Amino acid sequence: MIEPGTQSIWQAFAASAGLLPDRPVFNVLSETAGIYGIEPGKTSYRQVQEQVTELAAALQQKGYGPGFRVMLLLENRPQFFVWLLALNRIGASVVPVNPDLRHSELSYMAGHSEPSLIVALADRCDGLAAAAREAGLSVPVIAPGDVVPQPGTAGAVALRVDAGGEPLDGEEMEAALLYTSGTTGSPKGCILTNTYFLEAGRWYAEAGGLCALNTDGERMITPLPVFHMNAMAYSFMAMVAVGGCLTVLDRFHPSSWWKSVRESGATCLHYLGVMPSMLMGAPESREDRNHSVRFGFGAGVDPKLHASFEKRFGFPLVEAWAMTETGAGAVICANQLPRRVGESCLGKPGPELDVRIVEADGKASQSGPGELLVRQKAEDPRRGFFAGYFKNPEATEEAWADGWFHTGDIVRREADGSMFFVDRKKNVIRRSGENIAAVEVESALMRHPAVKAAAVAAVGDPVRGDEVFACLKVDGEAGEALALEIVGWCLGQLAYYKAPGYIAFVDALPLTSTQKIQRRELKELAERLVQDPATVDTRTMKKRTAA
């Protein structure tokens, strides 16, 4: 466990390495090794500690230390964590980079974060160097294994200072600058401190219930990207906290997933909602329960598949809610009994968490639906949360208006305290004075047997203000007949005004790297497709009927 008084990610890791030096901390499977061109096999805590010590010394020798930022584009390789630990050890911060980003996105991130060094895969170095130059930066770009160069001109800066202007260190030191997905606008840089990471590890190690971890040698497998908080903060720090081993795949491969799970010896796994849907699409096998997994931890499982997945594969999928900004400061998790399987239930807030639901008129509500506001009940209500948006104190204060963190998520709460996600606040469609949650319509559409994926956006309507536009991936022959059948079915599931007024059949939905709908791109796609002759206009089907 991460003991009280631990000040940094590195100290937490070093403590586990001191207790369990020969236990594996990373495991690279043969499939991942082949894709990345690296060696397969396990690496012990002792071996990683030695690698970190060597790299930290090389960095310090060239002048790196407190106040420096280093961008890392290393995909899902163990090297990412070695660099994270080494930089944390010397008081520097990392800026993880999504490898799917392209020139303009990379240039924005480099210019905004102002790194003194960029470390990237060899075939990405030239592109990152060009992006940095366009941002007006003079910064060295190297591949792992290259000789550490002198820092770029950005040099050391006071990453975080106290009220008196003095640099913050220890728990309050910036450990990472993590950029949000940018589904509705330019990415914001979330400042994550050592506290953020330490509390994530502690929360997971102590969560108990269905996702209880032990110190006997847990093995976690995740295909999620390490440039996001789930794998970087929760998966990694949870294993550090209990002396476990982390297997990180390059990405999710449905056809070889269960083979990877068995080879890794995983006792727990992380998922996103798209994964159970794809796995349930494969033929049943006698090997379906041939694994050591006790639980899966994630979000977004299709409610109509939740119970059948657990029955088929033999372990619970524990749904949870958190954000990059909230970290472990505010987690809602369905890890306790009794469960609400197949109901998109997030569970009940823990005793450490203050929760408020605020309706559109600004009034607090016991049940909602309304925006979820959260904070810690501790002396510091922001403990475990992000420390703020970099270079954007106005957005930070707006997010924390009135002493509560405003999540932008619409939720509802039942009498027993169970919480249910409804939609993002910005994704509410306003049609003829009625508020419609895009996610509610998407969930209904996903229950139709022909629908494999659904995304809903607002398009303009000269009479009603907004109209509901649905982009669908389907099985079967896409066309007007199917569109009319789906909307007719929806009218039996939802209030008439919530049903799609337009249906467009697509081959793929615009998604982020973490399989979330890119709402801004979806909005643009809907605005184009509404003019497409292939789009089916179903507005005449939406008629109010007598109760």
pLDDT digit string, tens, across residues 64-83: 998 899 999 999 999 999 99
% the chain with pLDDT above 90: 75
Q: Which two tokens stand for residue 23?
A: 């236990």
Where helices occur in 427-518 by DSSP H, the ranges are 438-446, 480-491
Beta carbons within 8 Å of 304's beta carbon, 6+ residues apart: 342, 446, 447
Please give the average per-residue pLDDT across 89-118, as a whole number.
91
Please give the average per-residue pLDDT across 367-386, as a whole number.
94
What is the rounded CA–CA span in Å between residue 215 and residue 206?
11
Q: Which two tokens stand for residue 153?
A: 């001109």
Q: For residue 184, name the pLDDT band (cuts at 50, 70, 90).
A: very low
pLDDT of residue 17: 98
Three-class secondary structure of residue 11 per DSSP: helix
What is the rounded CA–CA span in Å between residue 129 and residue 413?
49
What is the rounded CA–CA span in Å between residue 191 and residue 157?
14
Beta carbons within 8 Å of 426's beta carbon, 6+ residues apart: 184, 408, 519
% the chain with pLDDT above 70: 95
According to CATH, where is 3.40.50.12780 located in the chain? 9-412
Please give the average per-residue pLDDT across 112-134, as a whole number.
96
More confident residue, 480 or 543: 480
What is the rounded CA–CA span in Å between residue 353 and residue 118?
38
Read off φ and ψ for residue 347, nearest 5 degrees: 95, -165
pLDDT in tens, 405-430: 999 988 999 999 999 988 777 777 87
Q: Say yes or no to pLDDT of 185 above 60.
A: no
Please give the average per-residue pLDDT across 390-396, as a whole number.
93
Q: Say yes or no to pLDDT of 367 above 70.
A: yes
Q: Say yes or no to pLDDT of 161 above 70.
A: no
CATH number of 9-412: 3.40.50.12780
What is the rounded CA–CA span in Å between residue 182 and residue 543?
36
pLDDT of residue 100: 81
* 33-37, 387-391, 514-518, 522-526, range with the lowest pLDDT: 514-518
pLDDT of residue 105: 81
What is the rounded CA–CA span in Å between residue 64 and residue 45?
24
What is the rounded CA–CA span in Å between residue 144 and residue 43?
17
Read off φ and ψ for residue 415, nearest 5 degrees: -60, -30
pLDDT of residue 183: 43
Please give the average per-residue pLDDT across 301-318, as a whole number.
95
Please give the average per-residue pLDDT across 293-306, as a whole number.
92
Tell me which fold the domain 432-541 belongs to: GMP Synthetase; Chain A, domain 3 (3.30.300)
pLDDT of residue 520: 80
* 195-204, 273-282, 322-331, range with the lowest pLDDT: 273-282
According to CATH, where is 3.30.300.30 located in the chain? 432-541
CB 516 within 8 A of CB 183: yes
The per-residue pLDDT of the chain, averaged, comes to 91
Three-class secondary structure of residue 203 per DSSP: helix
pLDDT of residue 272: 87
* 94-98, 363-367, 511-515, 537-541, range with the lowest pLDDT: 511-515
**Which residue, 70, 85, 192, is CA-closest to 128?**
70
pLDDT of residue 165: 65
Give the orientation angle of helix 45-61 with respect to helix 9-19, to 10 degrees: 140
CB 286 within 8 A of CB 313: no
Please give the average per-residue pLDDT across 183-210, as a whole number.
89
What is the rounded CA–CA span in Å between residue 387 and residue 266?
33
Q: For residue 461, name the pLDDT band (cuts at 50, 70, 90).
A: confident
Q: Say yes or no to pLDDT of 441 above 60.
A: yes
